[in-house]
Structure 1
Amino acid sequence: MDIKNNILETIGNTPLIRLNKITQNLPCTVLAKVDYFNPGNSIKDRMALKMVEVAEQEGKLKPGGTIIEGTSGNTGMGLALAAIVKGYKCIFVTTDKQSKEKADVLKAMGAEVIVCSNNVEPDDPQSYYSVAARLAKEVPNSYHMNQYDNLANRLAHYETTGPEIWKQTDGKITHLVCTAGTGGTITGVAMYLKEKNPDIKIWAVDAYGSLLTKYFKTGELDEKEVYPYFSEGFGEDFLPKNYDMSVIDEFTQVTDKDGAIMARKLAKEEGIFCGYSAGSCLQGLMQLKETLTKDDLVVCILHDHGSRYVAKIYNDQWMMERGFLEVKTFKDIVSGRSGSPKLVTINENKTVYEAVELMKRYDIEHIPVVKDNEIIGSITEGGLFQKVFSSPDIKNEKIANALERPFPLVDFNVSVEKLKSLITKENGAVMSKDDAGVYHIVTKYDVIQALGG
C-alpha cells in the first residue's frame, strides 16, 4: 500500500508543466515548476520543514517549544504544518501589506498571528523582523527560525527542488527563472544546477522598491532604492544571508502592475491559478527573452497558489483602484462614438411604419419608446419581425400596440464585462443616464466591438 504517515511526507515532487499559450511567441520551450501542489500550497513547505529538522538536530528547537517567525504567509503555513505534526506552537509576525487570506489561513492552522506595519525600516523596533526577534527572547522555550539568514532555507532547495528539476528535464534545462525574496529558493536551486552544468543561466526576478537588483549589479546596498510596493513574496529591503550572488547571472525588476496582469493571464490562458510572484516570474522571463533560442529549455518556478490573492490581484475592484486593470465601461463606449450622436427615440403615438423608417434611416435595431419625455418601453427589429408574421397589417398600428419591455437601465460607469450578462438574445440593449441626465443606449454590437478592441 502507498500510504503517507503524515502530511509532511507529501512535500516535494511537484509537477513540471509545459506552458503553451502565454509563451507561444517565445522561440524556446518554457516549463513551470508548479509548487502550489505542496500541501501548504507553496514552495515554502520545503524550507520550512528543513529549518525545523535542522533546528531539532542542533538542539535549538526542543519538545513542546514555540516556533517564531516573520513571514508573508507561505513560510508560516509550512511551519504550521510541521508544528502540528511534531507538536510545537507557532507565533507568526507578518506585515499589513500581506493579503488577509494568508493571516486567516495561519490562524486556522492554530497559529498566533501578529500584524506589523510595513512602512518602517527593517531595524525599527516595530518592524516585523524586529518584533519576531524580540519575541524569541521573551517567549520561553522558543526559537526564531529567521528564514532570511537561516541557511537551512537554501539547503532545502539544494537537496530537493534543484534535483527534481534536473531529473524532470533529463538535465536539459538551460535557464532557470525565479523571483528573489529570502534568496533560499533561487540560491539553493542555482547551486545544485550549476554543479551539474555551469552553463545553466540563472535569472532572478525582483520588485521595484527592492534593493536586491542594484546590489547585484553594483555591490552597493542602497536604501534609496527601497520604497513600498504591492507585489508579495519577493524583493527585499536588506540582504538576507541566504544569497550567493555568484550563482545568479541576471536580475530584472518587474512592476506591480505587470506582475499582477501576468498572473491573471496565467490563470486564464494556462489554467494555472498562481500567486502574485508567479505572474512576476513570467513577466521577468518576457523582459529577458531576447537572448533565448529554439534550443533553450526554460524552467520558471511558480511559488504559490492564487487562492491567497483572491481579494487582491484576482479582484477587479482592487486592480482598478490601483490602475492595474483598464476596464472599459458604458461611458467609454458612448465617449468613443464619433460626434456622440443623439439618442433616437419614438413617441408611443407614432406608427410602427414610422418606427421601421427610423430604423432604416439610422441603421439601428433598437428604439426606446417615450411618453411625455419618459421612457415607457421599446421597439426592436427582432420583435417587429415576429409580430409581422402574426399580424401583417401591424405596420399601420400605433407603437403602443407593438410595445416591448423597456431596456434595462444601468450605471453609467458599469463595466463592459458586466454588460455581457445583461445583453441577451431577448434583450439586445441597455440604457443609462450620464451626469447631465441625458439618456444613452448600448447594444450587443457595441459590446462586441468594445471587447474586441
Structure 2
Amino acid sequence: MLPPVTDSIADSIGSTPMVRLTPQNKVSMLAKLEFTNPTGSGKDRLAKYILDEHERKTAFESRDKQTKRTLIIPTSGNLGISLATLAAQRNYRIIAILPERTSNDRIALLKALGVEILRSPNEVRPEAPESAYSVATKLAEQLKDAVVMDETKLRDLTAYHQLAEEILQQTKTAVDFVFVGVESGATLTGIAQYLKEKIPGVKVIGVEPTESILSSEHAHARSDWKVEDMGNNFVPTSLDLGMVDAWIKVSDKEAYSVARRLIKEQGILCGPSSGAVVAAAARHAHQMSSDHSTHTFQSVVILNDACRNYTSTLLSDDWLFENDLADDLITHELEYLSQNRYRAASVEDLQLPAAVTIPPKTSVSHAMDLMLEREYSQLPVISSINRKLVGYVSLASLQDKLERGHIQLSDTVESCMFSFKKAAGVTLNKYEVITPDTSLADLAKFFEKNSFAVITDQNRKWCLGVATKYDLISFLHRRQFL
C-alpha cells in the first residue's frame, strides 16, 4: 500500500525499513535504516518530538506571529538539519553551532535551509567559554524569544520509544543485541529503556570513536576523530550509562572503509557513523565465534546517517587517501580502478583513427551530414590558417539550436561552436591538454567530467584524434583488464 499524501514532511518520519545484511559467523545481522527518514537521519524523530513538545508547552503558534522565534542548536549537524527542515513552515529563525569537523556538504545544506552557522573547536570542553554549549547559552540570553535545543541534557526520550517498538515488531521480538552509535546518548538510552522492559535479556552495545571518552570518563580524548555524529569528550546527561551493556570503539579508518563497502557491495547508501556501527557488530560477531553453542544470535544495527551528506568526504576517493581512511582492501580496489588496471598504458595505446576535422567556415549542414555519416558525436574545429585546434561542435548541440531556431543549416560552425579561444583575456571553455603520452589513468580521470577528449600534440598545434570513454572501455576489454 502506498503511503498517504500528507500535509507536512514531519508526517513521513518513522516506519523505516529493516534490511538483512550478510550474516557474520553465528549472527544474523539486521540493519535498521534510520537514514531513510526525510532528512537522511534518525535525528528526525527527536527533532519532531522536541519541537512539538516545545510548542505544546509554550502554546506558541509562530505562523501567526510577525516576529520569528529563535532556536539555537549546539549540534554536530544532523539535529540542526532535522530541526531546520521541520521548522521551515513554522516561521523560526535557526542558529546552529557546529564543530569544525562537520562536512562542507552538511554546512551547504544548512545554509540552503536558511540556518545561521557558528563554528566551535573540535576539542573544546563543554564548560569552556568557546564551546557550542556556552555560546548557545550566551546567545539565548541576548536574543529575544530564543530557546536552546540541547539534546545532551534531555531526560525525556519518548521520541525513540517508537523506534524501539518498530524494532520489536520487525524482528518479532527475536533480538539479542542492538548496536547504536553514541554521541549525546539520547538514541541509545531511549531505545534501551523501551527494549529492556520488553526483552529483559537484550544487550545494548554502545559504539564510539577510538578517541572518545564516553565509555571511560577519565580517559584522554584527542577529540580530533573524523566520524561525525559519534563520540564525545564528556558524558552527556542524556546518556544513561546503566543502559549500556558493553562498549566497542571503532577507528575512523574502520568506519569509513566499512561504509564504502556497504555502499558498493550491498547498495546501502549510509554514512560513516553507520559504517562504524556495522564494523563494531561484525567484530562482536567474530569474537563470539569461540562459542560452541548451536544457538544463532540476531543483532540489530542502527544506521543513522545517509551518504548524501558526505559527498566531499566519504564519497571522495581523493579525500579518503589524503586522510588515510581507506583500509588495505578499499585501497587495493580504488588503486586498481584508478591506476593499476591500465598497466601504465597511454593514449597512444588506444590506437585511435586519424582525426576528422572541419574548418570554422564549414556550414552547419555539412558538419551534421559528416557526423551522421561517420556516426560521430563531435567534430574538432581546426583553424584554416595554422591548423590549430580552436573548438569543437557536437551533433546534439547543433540539432538543439536548429530546433530552437537559433541557427540555420547555411550558417557556419564558427558562429555556434564551443570555442577554446580567449575573449577579453578569459578562456571561454577551459582546455586540458591530452596528448598521445597522457596516461590512460589520467584520461579516465578526465572522462569523469567530460564526454570526449581531443588528442593533440603538447603545443596544441596538431589535432591527432578524438577519444571517448567507449574507446577506453574497449581497450580494457581487449586487454582483459576489466
Once the 2 structures are TM-superposed, how far is the Cα of residue 428 of structure 1 from its aligned partner?
A: 6.0
Residue by residue, what CA displacement relative to the aligned partner does 1:204-254 show, whole Å, maximum 9, x if unpaired? 11101110122xxxxxx2252343111111100111111111121110100
Q: Which residue of 1 aligns with 2:258?
A: 262
2:437 to 409, 422, 441: 409
Change (3 A) 1:249 1:414: farther
Q: Which residue of 1 aligns with 2:130?
A: 126
Q: Is 2:329 the partner of 1:322?
A: no
1:176 to 175, 178, 181: 178
Query: 1-side partners of 2:282 and 2:164: how far apart?
Result: 23
Residue by residue, what CA displacement relative to the aligned partner does 1:104-139 show, whole Å, maximum 9, x if unpaired? 111212221222332433322222222222211111
Change (3 A) 1:423 1:222: farther
Query: 2-side partners of 1:317 and 1:9: how far apart?
Result: 39
Q: TM-score, normalised by structure 1?
A: 0.72
**8 Å contact from structure 1 (residues 61, 142) kept in 2:** no
Q: Which residue of 2 aligns with 1:283?
A: 279
Residue by residue, what CA displacement relative to the aligned partner does 1:407-445 show, whole Å, maximum 9, x if unpaired? 95345986999999698475469xxxxxxxxxxxxx946
**8 Å contact from structure 1 (residues 187, 247) kept in 2:** yes
**8 Å contact from structure 2 (residues 208, 248) kept in 1:** yes
**8 Å contact from structure 2 (residues 72, 147) kept in 1:** yes
Residue by residue, what CA displacement relative to the aligned partner does 1:392-413 show, whole Å, maximum 9, x if unpaired? xxxxxxxxxxxxxx99534598
Amino acid at match of 2:30: L
Amino acid at match of 1:206: E
SS of equivalent residue, structure 2 residue 223 = coil
2:269 to 269, 273, 276: 273
Once the 2 structures are TM-superposed, how far is the Cα of residue 29 of structure 1 from its aligned partner?
A: 1.8
Change (3 A) 1:321 1:167: same
Query: 2-side partners of 1:171 and 1:5: how far apart?
Result: 33
| 1:13-162 correspondence to structure 2 within 5 Å | 13-19=15-21, 23-59=22-58, 63=62, 64-152=68-156, 154-158=157-161, 160-162=162-164
Q: Which residue of 1 aligns with 2:230?
A: 234
The farther-off stretch of 73-82 and 298-307 is 73-82
Once the 2 structures are TM-superposed, how far is the Cα of residue 300 of structure 1 from its aligned partner?
A: 0.6
State the percentage of identical aligned residues.
Answer: 28
Amino acid at match of 2:288: T
Query: 2-side partners of 1:331 and 1:81: how far apart?
Result: 38
Query: 1-side partners of 2:351 and 2:472: how far apart?
Result: 15
**8 Å contact from structure 1 (residues 329, 414) kept in 2:** no
**8 Å contact from structure 1 (residues 61, 143) kept in 2:** no
| 1:328-367 correspondence to structure 2 within 5 Å | 328=335
SS of equivalent residue, structure 1 residue 113 = strand
**8 Å contact from structure 2 (residues 32, 301) kept in 1:** yes
Query: 2-side partners of 1:377 and 1:33: how far apart?
Result: 48
Amino acid at match of 2:191: V
Query: 2-side partners of 1:378 and 1:197: how far apart?
Result: 63
Change (3 A) 1:223 1:444: same
**8 Å contact from structure 2 (residues 348, 437) kept in 1:** no
SS of equivalent residue, structure 1 residue 225 = coil
Change (3 A) 1:60 1:204: farther
Q: Which residue of 2 aligns with 1:387?
A: none
Once the 2 structures are TM-superposed, how far is the Cα of residue 54 of structure 1 from its aligned partner?
A: 2.3
**8 Å contact from structure 1 (residues 377, 407) kept in 2:** no
Change (3 A) 1:413 1:379: closer
Amino acid at match of 1:29: S
Residue by residue, what CA displacement relative to the aligned partner does 1:50-106 show, whole Å, maximum 9, x if unpaired? 112222333397744211111111101111123223332211111221001111111
Change (3 A) 1:85 1:323: same
Change (3 A) 1:82 1:295: same
SS of equivalent residue, structure 2 residue 335 = coil
Once the 2 structures are TM-superposed, how far is the Cα of residue 379 of structure 1 from its aligned partner?
A: 8.8
SS of equivalent residue, structure 2 residue 264 = helix
SS of equivalent residue, structure 1 residue 68 = strand
**8 Å contact from structure 1 (residues 136, 144) kept in 2:** yes
What are structure 2's unaligned runs of at least 5 residues? 63-67, 353-433, 449-468
**8 Å contact from structure 1 (residues 205, 280) kept in 2:** yes
Query: 2-side partners of 1:177 and 1:301: how far apart?
Result: 6
Q: Which residue of 2 aligns with 1:312?
A: 313
Once the 2 structures are TM-superposed, how far is the Cα of residue 299 of structure 1 from its aligned partner?
A: 0.9
SS of equivalent residue, structure 2 residue 89 = helix
Q: Which residue of 2 aligns with 1:11?
A: 13
Query: 2-side partners of 1:425 and 1:10: how far apart?
Result: 43
The farther-off stretch of 47-56 and 162-171 is 47-56
SS of equivalent residue, structure 1 residue 288 = helix
SS of equivalent residue, structure 1 residue 298 = strand
Once the 2 structures are TM-superposed, how far is the Cα of residue 316 of structure 1 from its aligned partner?
A: 0.3
Query: 2-side partners of 1:171 and 1:201: how far apart?
Result: 13
Q: Alignment RMSD, CA only?
A: 3.4
Once the 2 structures are TM-superposed, how far is the Cα of residue 376 of structure 1 from its aligned partner?
A: 8.4
Q: Number of paired residues? A: 362
Change (3 A) 1:411 1:122: farther
Amino acid at match of 2:181: T
Residue by residue, what CA displacement relative to the aligned partner does 1:341-363 show, whole Å, maximum 9, x if unpaired? xx9xxxxxxxxxxxxxxxxxxxx
**8 Å contact from structure 1 (residues 29, 294) kept in 2:** no
Query: 1-side partners of 2:196 and 2:30: how far apart?
Result: 19
Once the 2 structures are TM-superposed, how far is the Cα of residue 25 of structure 1 from its aligned partner?
A: 4.0
Q: Which residue of 2 aligns with 1:205?
A: 207
**8 Å contact from structure 1 (residues 80, 90) kept in 2:** yes
Query: 1-side partners of 2:159 and 2:114: how far apart?
Result: 25
Query: 1-side partners of 2:44 and 2:338: how far apart?
Result: 47
What are structure 1's unaligned runs of at least 5 residues? 215-220, 338-342, 344-365, 369-374, 381-405, 430-442, 449-453
Query: 2-side partners of 1:176 and 1:328: how far apart?
Result: 35
Q: Is 2:245 the partner of 1:249?
A: yes
Q: TM-score, normalised by structure 2?
A: 0.68
